[in-house]
Chain A
Amino acid sequence: MKALMFGWEFPPHILGGLGTASYGLTRGMAQQPDMETIFVIPKPWGDEDQSFARIVGANTTPIVWRDIPWEMARARLEKFMDPREYYWRRDNIYADFSYMHTNDLGCIEFSGRYPSNILEETNNYSIVAGVIARTYEFDVIHAHDWLTYPAGLHAKSVSGKPMVIHVHATEFDRSRGKPNPIVYNIEKDGMDNCDHIICVSDLTRRTVIENYHQPYWKVTTVHNAVDPLNPEIEAIERLSGVQEKVVTFLGRITMQKGPEFFVDAATQVIRKTDHIRFVMAGSGDMMDQMIRLVAERGIAHKFHFTGFLRGKQVYEMLKSSDVYVMPSVSEPFGISPLEAMQCNVPSIISYQSGCSEILENVIKTDYWDVDAMADAIYSICTYPAMAEHLKLEGKIEVDNIKWEDAGLKVRRIYDNLVGRK
């Protein structure tokens, strides 16, 4: 079974959860002996792990024929791929795109991020997908999130192979119910014309069925999993120098993540106790508002902001925490509580996050139920049995949530689609 996957990010260069999840899934599927994956991303950096999937960069795929000498191709492309592939792809240019802006290799430049002209990038991505789909052989197409749906659809129309789309988030989650109509249309078009839809939680599945009017039989939930921690991260020690217990919020400080509810709960707890401190890690458009709110409440002496954390810092923060809180208002899955549990940190999550569907050894509250959240924070910081139990059982639980199992579920969907054709 060969899959052609379209993604937008790939570790180590990731901006959100999408990259982690598509990477995990691909790696999990690579455990199946007869599974091969070609993973397309807009802009590879050259340091991606290619041991289990072949990375194809959209920015190294020509759409305009240029006569490039071998030496030049090698010099420019060797760190990304076998330079011969450049010529193979060049043989499959299918139309005259010389009106487009391309570089000296005949390739379109991609930012690989989320720039303001993102719609243009998704369109360019789909043009490149036509070349890629003609170059490589595959049995099934798999597109991760709306940015890649047009590319996937193009590959489908070129090859006639079945297409699966993977919904990591919908426009409804990102906008708290006020979707951008252009994005909505791209999403709906992808869902209408694909052969199967995979959602990361039942919550998302419901959104897809209700708000995108998809038939229920076409939509399957495959919950995300988490990669085991590597030994380097495992070895990180607790850094915190304070005596108090540390309660952490970690993520983008935006509407979707419900940071104001965390501040409210912290206010309740700080007023009543003196053995608990709060940390809000991350950045986002609501950060300044949160800083003001904390100052207004008069709890700034026990409430800290760290700003944006990257890479190892995330784990240092987690390892120094006693409680992890994710009060998301609408979270398609939410992988970070699983990471906290891997670090032996008890977690409190909202019922409105997809991961609450599969996690048992966490405390769940409604995101708006600030009292319950405050109570749970107090309880974990005050009753050692609670913290111990959640740490131990949570670690056992999360160690059993594996990408391989998610990969098998996805494989079953592939098998069905390929068999049907």
Chain B
Amino acid sequence: MKTICFYFQIHQPFRLKRYRFFNIGRDHYYFDDYANEDILQQIAARSFMPANRMLLDLVNQYQGKFKVAFSISGVALEQLEIYAPEVIDGFRELSKTGHVEFLAETYAHSLSALFDPEEFRNQVRHHAERIEALFGQKPTVMRNTELIYNDDIAEMVYDMGYTRMITEGAKHVLGWKSPNYVYQAASQPKLKLLLKNSRFSDDITYRFSNYSWNEYPLTAEKFISWIAATPPEEEVFNLFMNYETLGNIQPSHTGIFEFIKALPRFASEHEIGFSTPGEVLDNHEPIGAINVPNSISWSDEERDVSAWLGNKLQQSALKALYEMGERVRLCTDRRLKHDWLYLQTSDHFYYMSTKHFGGGQSHFSPYMSPYDAFNNYMNVLSDFIARVEAQYPETVDNEELNALLTTIHNQEKEIKRLQMELKTVIGSNEKRLVEKVKK
């Protein structure tokens, strides 16, 4: 039986405020609260809220025959909790129905998988804990930032205890193969992979309201008939998209909500079901291995990581950031650790991309130009680095520092132990004294 697997991505970065170099060393707050609140609330009103309501209705109406999955980055969760807690409540209700799955990802929506394995592991763990605390389910399927994937990441993910992962069905990787099957990683055959069907996903995300598209208007009936018309042995259709597709990228007047509402009806006519990624990966055996030596992602025509790592600016900013990783992990200052996470969000580096010159700056960048983005980010990062160094001087190298910290930590323990011993000794001495006096 054919099955449709929906997964929606929810992410919003903590955008940085205008941070000039004369703020360095004086101002340690980096974020544009006004813009962040404004943007998040707009998106919540236009997209998240109505979409949550609609999905809840559908799940209830079809009693378990309609299912979806979500991946919500930690930074987005934090913003939702502050600015639109009703959206979190909506997800909680969805989670309670038992037909909604939450995926694991990096807490900061970061590129740590490519730069700092230890940071990656920490963030995934941190994110899973957060999801469990909020929605009462432990994520078991891994989704890396922007669906970035390569053979090394596969091994890393498997070593962390995940056996299931989703990524992009990039054409240059798949070749003649179809994304409509379950695959396994070439570097770690025990890791099952689910690949995005780019054509069907993009039909909804990008082409749905495009008047010049020859298939316009896209109806649920037509869409399901396309899926039904695929060869019978192709059973899995992975529609991975940004949650903002519903209501924001495709505004409600385009009829996107009605389209999604009608999908289950036509699907059941063709005996097409809905599943979550976890179920699909459990119910299907991999039919082949996927070899990905160079990183892929779901971004741009190239489906590679050049949107974040394409130029010198981005590379040097990322290098400067991740050089601090080890040092930051030794720190205990809570605010520092928060900022560390927020500064890792991939969007900051996307804004520095010079790939989109000519075609106009990417419309959701808050900056006038990539240079502006780099400049602002580096100023913030300079201040951040100075703060980290203020905690532990630069002259002490990481290993030495670690050793010193361990010594201090051990000595603390030792002191505590000795104090306890001292107490018992004093205690017993007192007792003895009292007994002596009594005698």
Contact = CB atoms under 8 A, between A and B. Distances in A.
A418 interface: no
B254 interface: no
B20 A374 contact: yes
Given A379-B378, A386-B371, A272 B311 contact: no
A378 B25 CA distance: 15
Contacts of A375: 20-21, 375, 379
Nearest to A390: B371
B315 A386 contact: no
Nearest to B21: A378
Contacts of A392: 312
A155 B354 CA distance: 48
Contacts of A390: 371
A216 B316 CA distance: 46
B313 interface: yes
B351 to A, nearest CB: 14
Given A371-B20, A386-B378, A363 B371 contact: yes
Interface string B6-27: 0000000000000011100000
Q: Interface size for chain A: under 10, 10 to 19, 20 to 34, or 35 or more residues?
A: 20 to 34
B369 A363 contact: yes
A383 interface: yes
A388 B357 contact: no
B379 A379 contact: yes
Interface in B125-154: none
A104 interface: no
A364 B369 contact: yes
A363 B21 CA distance: 16
Residue from B21, B317, B378, B379 having most chain A Cβ neighbours under 10 A = B21
Contacts of B368: 364
Interface string B419-434: 0000000000000000
A220 B357 CA distance: 24
A415 interface: no
A375 B358 CA distance: 25
Nearest to A383: B378
Nearest to A269: B21
Interface of A: 268, 272-273, 360-361, 363-364, 371-372, 374-376, 378-379, 382-386, 388-390, 392-393
Given A379-B21, A382-B382, A393-B311, 13 more contacts: A272-B22, A360-B354, A360-B358, A363-B369, A363-B375, A374-B22, A375-B20, A375-B375, A379-B375, A383-B378, A386-B313, A386-B378, A389-B311
22 contacts: A273-B21, A363-B371, A364-B368, A371-B20, A371-B22, A375-B20, A376-B371, A378-B21, A379-B21, A382-B382, A385-B315, A385-B316, A385-B317, A385-B374, A386-B313, A386-B371, A386-B374, A386-B375, A386-B378, A388-B312, A392-B312, A393-B311
Interface of B: 20-22, 311-313, 315-317, 354, 357-358, 368-369, 371-372, 374-375, 378-379, 382
